[in-house]
Chains A and B, each alone.
Chain A
């Protein structure tokens, strides 16, 4: 059994206060607007249940035209308004877990307003139907993902 780790870091400098940005993460009605929306022709979102208080649970279901159903259960570990939110989530394709992640949202005041930095630490997990794991095993593939994340 092998485990493969990846980290994705995304940053945004936003012309709004940390309180507003944090509310967009932690208020379920606000979060659904950006988290589930968007024009993604291959994807349909079929379920969104959200309690984003500390200890709360979130669950979303997406269906992709070719790849089938993806279910994403999430658990809020830490919610410290307006500066930090840490959650753990799993992504299942069909009934098979494919990744598990720790997501840390850092919200800091900046000259423009708010520096928002989500960091996702992902482990690609066992395929579920055998002892073999379905990891993206080559450095070349990993580099292509991590390089832009660290740019």
Chain B
């Protein structure tokens, strides 16, 4: 799990790659469409796509002359879980704090 999280965060450590993931969250897109908003040469952009694909965050398929890129949902689950864990930790701790506070004073604060 640690290794997959490392790969996940490393792949998302770049603003271009994050922008691609954000765009793909709205649906699959052609490489040309993904490249259009970015002020960089296509070969450089393709390296970013390769990085995302190698990390398992996206997959692509050729349709005729166009390559369509899709987001892969599965890799996001452990990271989301890792973030949500911080909040669940708070909730669990405050549940115990509340129980202790109320038992220290009985029903009449």
Given known pairs A137-B21, A138-B18, A144-B84, the reply for A12 and B98 (CB within 8 Å) is yes
In the bound assembly, the distance between CA atoms of A111 and B31 in angstroms comes to 58
Contact of A138 with B9 at beta-carbon distance under 8 Å, contacts A24-B100, A145-B87 already known = no
Chain B residues with CB under 8 A of A122: 86
A interface size (C-beta, 8 A) = 46
Which of A16, A66, A133, A138 is B105 in contact with, Cβ under 8 Å? A16
CB distance from A28 to the nearest CB of B (A): 14
Could you tell me if A68 and B101 are in contact, using CB atoms closer than 8 angstroms?
A: no
Q: Would A10 and B91 be within 8 Å (CB), given that A37-B96, A138-B12, A140-B76 are in contact?
A: yes
Residues of B near A133 (CB, < 8 A) are: 9, 13
- B94-A118 in contact (CB<8A): yes
Are A38 and B105 in contact, CB atoms less than 8 angstroms apart? Answer: no
Asked if B27 is at the interface (CB within 8 A of a chain A CB), the reply is: no
B-side interface size class? 35 or more
Task: Specify the main secondary structure of chain B where it touches its partner.
Answer: helix
User: Once the chains bind, are B98 and A14 in contact (CB under 8 Å)?
Assistant: yes
Complex: A151 Cα to B27 Cα, angstroms: 27
Are A17 and B109 touching (Cβ within 8 A)? yes
B87 touching A141, Cβ below 8 Å: no
Return chain B residues, CB-CB under 8 Å to A136.
9, 12, 79-80, 83
Whether A95 is near chain B, meaning CB under 8 Å from some CB there, is no
Is B97 a contact partner of A15 (Cβ separation < 8 A)?
A: no
Q: Which of A16, A116, A148 has the most CB of B within 10 A?
A: A16
Known contacts A113-B105, A114-B101, A141-B79; 10 further A-B pairs (Cβ under 8 A): A10-B90, A12-B97, A15-B101, A16-B102, A130-B10, A137-B9, A137-B13, A144-B83, A145-B87, A149-B87
Jot down 17 A-B pairs with beta carbons below 8 A, ordered by A: A2-B15, A8-B87, A14-B97, A14-B101, A14-B102, A15-B101, A17-B109, A20-B104, A20-B105, A34-B99, A118-B90, A127-B6, A134-B10, A137-B18, A141-B79, A141-B80, A145-B80
